[in-house]
Chain A
């Protein structure tokens, strides 16, 4: 993307640079401190922070993992283009996050799983469902979350610093990979707390300055509808550059609105359920908590924090359009190309433009730190979770005899692989014409995620659903989603000036409506096939479904045979290793210093607990994971949740 350098203000003064350096030092310090607090050498310690987290790292980590640079650029950009309805994506999450804490996590905790495919494996048996889920989750991570966040970060850095995209992105990825690889989840969750503070503080400062520039909240309400670009030729129809009339409404007309209200209420809820309740990145943070009460309290904290993006990103995006209508609201393709390098539209530069123009020196460095915080926290979480998925679900299938040490190394190597893939994906995202970044994300998610959400809902609430039902439901949902996704990407989504010629039958249905449709169709398909095939007996389902989550009876695991095979392979590997090391020790003597340093850095210890015998395993499975709650705290937390929901409903009503 080329930029006119005349308007560029680069961050090259001591105040800005010292802020950025200070930020990095704090993050690295917290990361190193946390490596001493937990044991990273075991699977539980690395992937689940040893299950010792209290409520506030859980809450802030949920927020920081969710808010990425994609939010700053995408939310603000879409708000500049079409008003506050895009904030519905954020405010819907207030309710979904409670669904996570109260309904889904108790079942996950009591099932004793680390990854979501593992849960499905225990619930349904068989391996094809978990394999499909692992693969599609990894696919969705790379192509929606990672690419969007990286691209948004690149847009920001280009606007603010004028660096080359690749240099900027590679530097960011390396720093993120560094503290992800060494620390594991504990480091991530503690650094996420720091990132959350930085994000909120910086964004508040920017919001303050923006409102001051535009003249206050009521001034924004008046001026937004008058923000027309001065350079427009008469051939462009008026509605392409005039701000929407319902710009300040969350709930818009069901047929003509760009985000119709049934879609906003139900479609976003379905996509949100996939994102918050069934996705590895978010659920892993809840599983790392000390107890169920801490999970719930963390979810409430995250909910309150999710109230903020509307004020911190959506309103500043609209202010940006009011202040710079010719750049942010540009409509003439020549002008747009000059301003931001894409002909479709420049709404994506709304937030970076504000940062560069409105913030005084010194604070610009702070905003860059904020963007870096958002980018790094999200990327780090995604790296960690995708490494968990790959290690626990795919690698253990390839090599069941892998011990902790090997799994740790594989996890870290996979992160490096993902970093390489992400760097290679940048040109593709660039070429996808950044004008529709947020739309692209939401559409891809709407076409692929609802079947997963449907299967998880049914798996938890309906005992009758079995393996064939779930698998064929997922396949059917995938086919339906692809039927919509492929034509839409083939024809291109078009723009206001040059609409797409995708046939109305396929592309006429709004993507949020399509999500609702897909959800229900998948659900019906799953139920239909399940009722026509033999059921799963209760003895396999204890503590895997919502109604049986408190049951204390013994469960006959459906994946017992596979686990036992893995354990046997590991025991044999142990035996062989014992023979070999006895001979080796006599020959080799001390390990070299280099190996020791690398071992400490990566948190890998030499001592490996022996694989438990069959008796020990059955004994361990009798110690059931505890999801009981102290009644006092339970009632307190429930009351708090009610208060939060009331606050959320008030704001929805206010802006409806």
Chain B
């Protein structure tokens, strides 16, 4: 993050220099420079919109997640949410709720290899719901179910 900021600063300085020189020479900004400035402004606006989106969406989903946990525990402190997803086959194993929700959809559509790739991708990039199992164990479970 620090390196990108420094690089951005350097780029802005060079642009500023070129603009100042062009103004000194008495010409309008060269066309390509106007273009680049426009792109810069545009990307900056997109970035702001992305931040606003992230902040707004996270605010909306956080209270919901908290609400769910309380509903599952039924007010008892001993019972954890994992009880609700206890596997039917083995009392010591737990169903992987998160994975199975995406399971059906992607298995039907994209085939198994792709399914694994997509759930991994989701886990890496989109960290919306907290994983019920660590990533490594989830992957092994995927391979076992294939």
Interface residues of A (CB under 8 A from B): 628, 630-632, 635, 642, 645-646, 649-656
Contact = CB atoms under 8 A, between A and B. Distances in A.
A630 B110 CA distance: 8
Given A632-B117, A654-B32, 17 more contacts: A630-B106, A630-B109, A630-B110, A630-B118, A631-B118, A631-B122, A632-B121, A635-B125, A642-B46, A646-B39, A646-B42, A649-B38, A650-B36, A653-B34, A653-B38, A654-B34, A654-B35
A650 to B, nearest CB: 4
Contact of B35 (A630, A635, A650): A650
Nearest to B114: A630
A174 to B, nearest CB: 44
Contacts of A649: 35, 38-39, 42
B17 interface: no
5 contacts: A650-B35, A650-B39, A651-B35, A654-B34, A656-B38
Contacts of B125: 631, 635
Interface string B86-128: 0000000000000000000110011000100110011001100
B31 interface: yes
B121 A650 contact: no
Q: What class of interface size applies to chain B in its complex with A?
A: 20 to 34
B37 interface: yes
Contacts of A635: 125
A654 B31 CA distance: 5
B43 interface: yes
Contacts of A631: 118, 121-122, 125-126
A649 to B, nearest CB: 4
Nearest to B105: A628
A645 B109 contact: no
* Chain A interface, >50% SS class: helix
* Chain B interface, >50% SS class: helix
B38 A652 contact: yes
B136 to A, nearest CB: 21
A102 to B, nearest CB: 13
Interface string B38-53: 1100110010000000
A85 B118 CA distance: 45
Contacts of B38: 649-650, 652-653, 656
* 9 nearest A-B residue pairs (beta carbon): A653-B38, A653-B35, A654-B35, A650-B35, A649-B42, A653-B34, A654-B31, A650-B39, A649-B38
Contact of A646 (B37, B43, B117, B122): B43
Nearest to A647: B39
Nearest to A656: B34
Contacts of A654: 31-32, 34-35
Contacts of A650: 35-36, 38-39
Nearest to A653: B38
Contacts of B117: 632
B36 A653 contact: yes
Nearest to A645: B42
B1 to A, nearest CB: 20
Contacts of A645: 42
A630 B118 CA distance: 7
A632 B109 CA distance: 14
B37 to A, nearest CB: 7
Contacts of A652: 35, 38
A299 B105 CA distance: 25
Contacts of B42: 645-646, 649
A632 B114 CA distance: 10
B11 to A, nearest CB: 15
A295 B42 CA distance: 24
Nearest to A629: B109
Contacts of B36: 650, 653
Contact of A653 (B39, B43, B46, B126): B39
A85 to B, nearest CB: 16
Contacts of B106: 630
Contacts of A656: 34, 38
Contacts of A646: 39, 42-43
Nearest to A650: B35
A631 B35 CA distance: 32
Interface in B13-66: 31-32, 34-39, 42-43, 46
Most buried by A among B35, B37, B105: B35
Contacts of A655: 31
Nearest to B126: A631
Contacts of B126: 631
A653 B42 CA distance: 11
B68 to A, nearest CB: 19
Contacts of B31: 654-655
Nearest to B109: A630
B15 to A, nearest CB: 13
Contacts of A642: 46
B135 to A, nearest CB: 16
A651 B43 CA distance: 15
A653 B46 CA distance: 17
B34 A632 contact: no
A632 B35 contact: no
Contacts of B121: 631-632
Nearest to B108: A626
A331 B77 CA distance: 90
A632 B118 contact: yes
B109 to A, nearest CB: 7
